[in-house]
A and B are shown apart, each in its own frame.
Chain A
Amino acid sequence: MIRFIVRRLLQLIPTLFGLSLLLFIWLRRLPGGPETAILGERGTPEMRAAIRQNLGLDEPILIQYGRFVRRLIRLDLGTSISTKREVTTEFLQRFPGTVELTITAMVIAIGIGIPLGYLAARRRGRLLDHLSVGGSLIGICIPVFFLAYILKAIFSENLGWFPSSGRQDPTIGATRITNFFVLDGLMTREWDAAADALWHLVLPGLALASIPLAIIVRITRASVLEVLNEDFVRTAEAKGLTENVVRRRHVLRNAMLPVATSIGLLTGGLLSGAVLTETVFAFSGIGAFLADSISQRDYPVLMGFIMIIAVVYVLVNLIVDLSYSLIDPRVRVR
């Protein structure tokens, strides 16, 4: 188990180096460097050169890369060109919002998706089955940002049930510790702050959950249908076990295997969806900041953020693989 984790983490290192090198070269080929973003079209060639020299962009690209790697080993991701703050600081301030949003979406998707998929399979061919299969098809086909707009228009602008933007009502004046607003509220016992932050998460969470929810419903349904036909379910029935035990211990547990795999893969897509959802709900996560950084050519921010996201993605999949080996003893982690 430990060896498996260590090996997977070691495997991560060459992937990260490859990714960073590719990114590095690629980003610096983007037309218009940070000097254009800072000076606009007005700057004289001398001013441009000065800025480039100041940022160290005049040196050969491999030397720049070497410097980047040396800093990276000390976990120093550099300073943002546009905000002049540490990339790590920027990240720690914004990423919790995206994580909160992603976790909310995943909780919604798993919490509704698995029971719904299971019920659809048990009532195969009945109304509930048709509704959930049809609904999940539409869920896959609806553009996330459009769904976000519809939810916002109906539930916040027309009905006024939910706030339409932001992560928390600033007038609450909540204390910040981790920048996970819900967590902060719980830690400082500012219950109203936590509740308000949760309330702000509902609509964007729902919008973001649409695609993973649809996929989890479909995979759960298909997987349960397959497991219901397995011989060992018949054995369980033949033992006279109650329906409840057959269902939980024998059907659901086996049906969860493909669902667990898909959850890991869905996380990558969620981060993309989060960028769109954050934009619609003016939700301050990494989404808008990343989009700005691209147009500003803020190389350190882009490099740093993408690298961290890649690490997070790999870690999530590692956790999924580990949990997989917990559900399925046949998968040995070595």
Chain B
Amino acid sequence: MALLEVDDLSVTFARRGQRAVRAVDGVSFSVDAGEVVGLVGESGCGKSVTSLAIMGLLPKQPGLRVGGKAVFDGSDLLQLDDRSRRDIRGRDIAMIFQDPLSSLNPVIPIGLQVTEVLTRHRGMRGDAAAKEAAQLLDRVGIPDPKRRLKEYPHQLSGGMRQRALIAMAVACQPRLLIADEPTTALDVTIQAQILELLKDLVRDSGTALVMITHDLGVVAGMCDSINVLYGGRVVETARRRPLFREPRHPYTVGLLGSVPRLDAGRGERLNPIPGSVRDLLPWPDGCAFAPRCTRRVDACVGEPPQLVLAHDGRSYRCVNPAPVPGLRPTEEIRETVPGEAEPGTVPAQAVPGDAPAVPGLGPAPSEEETP
């Protein structure tokens, strides 16, 4: 049995007098113990909302509806009361956020922000907690941890802040770690360091990791299996190698095609996906990606495409998937995929994150605001 089994998760925001927005629309995926799973997609595809819904961290507001199941270790997280949810958060499931500066409390020292987790979940206080906190900072590669404990977030560099956040997340050796775009706000060289750190931590402790990103370089370097999201649904699920070698869903193909490659000739153009995340078709009317799809056929519109389970355990949601002998020779793709996130090969963002935001959240689709 998987550690986390997300089944048909849906999140709807309804605002008075406006059309309800379905940010997550029947997402299903599973995470095994010790596994690294990627949730990939452009800004606004619902990946952040998915993680916040699992954690029970969506801002409480009228009109918010969360449906489906998220079974962690036998209990459905979505059905838990507030008390038990707080017991699990930070102890069994921890989370790392995108912007380390705004995610740290500016007015209390780093030390307290680390020890408060230890106090809450491991009952540690005083010197014992301070000592453990220093060890945690040391473990995530913060030099001179004793001094750093007394410092405030604004005194740390961006990379250090993210390391501090990671220290807080791994303080109780959680079984599942959710990292929501943990490197997006950082410089490229720092990105690589943070990814290495995360990789080491999960390998050493056997923690499962859900990696939320729009960055295929991150995915290629870390994930065992990958779920590609579009318009609030999982459109393709595969292990890492098959996905990069033979992407089946045209959206995955498009994402891979818009990654700049070192070996491409100077004259060769990138292949961006035309249009933006806003140009989506509501799923009940057909494939949400159809308006932007290069492989669109008549069958794409009318009813939502079925999830196809392929012979090798992969699945995709497309009526006209890319043929197996890929758009390019498979050998070439394997070589150009950035490996261990070396500087210079980390791909640029697929699409700039300009989608309007649901209040208090990361970007989410909001067709209601498109004029």
Contact = CB atoms under 8 A, between A and B. Distances in A.
Q: Indicate whether A and B are direct neighbours in the complex (CB within 8 Å).
A: yes
Contact of B154 (A235, A245, A330): A330
A238 B57 contact: yes
Interface stretch (B32-40, B90-98, B222-230, B281-289): B90-98
Interface residues of A, number: 26
A84 interface: no
Given A241-B116, A241-B120, A232 B103 contact: yes
A235 to B, nearest CB: 5
B97 A253 contact: no
A236 B97 contact: no
Given A234-B57, A249-B116, A330-B152, A240 B91 contact: yes
A237 interface: yes
Contacts of A167: none
A62 B154 CA distance: 52
A41 interface: no
B303 to A, nearest CB: 38
Contacts of A230: 102
Given A229-B59, A253-B108, A329-B106, A239 B117 contact: yes
B4 interface: no
Please indicate which of the listed interface residues B95, B97, B116 has the most CB atoms of chain A within 10 Å of its own CB. B116
Interface string B276-301: 00000000000000000000000000
A330 B106 contact: yes
A324 to B, nearest CB: 11
B265 interface: no
A231 B226 CA distance: 27
B106 A328 contact: yes
B360 interface: yes
Nearest to A328: B107
Contacts of A232: 102-106
A245 B120 CA distance: 10
B99 to A, nearest CB: 6
A200 interface: no
Contacts of B117: 239-241
B165 interface: yes
A239 B117 CA distance: 6
Interface in A204-249: 228-232, 234-243, 245, 249
Given A240-B87, A329-B152, A330-B152, A234 B103 contact: yes
A141 interface: no
A250 interface: yes
Interface string A27-67: 00000000000000000000000000000000000000000
A143 B304 CA distance: 65
Contact of B107 (A125, A239, A329): A329
Contacts of B99: 231
B106 A239 contact: no
B188 interface: no
Interface in B37-89: 55, 57, 59, 62, 82, 85-89
Interface of A: 125, 228-232, 234-243, 245, 249-250, 253-254, 257, 327-330
Q: Which 5 A-B pairs have the closest CB atoms?
A: A240-B90, A240-B89, A239-B90, A231-B102, A329-B152
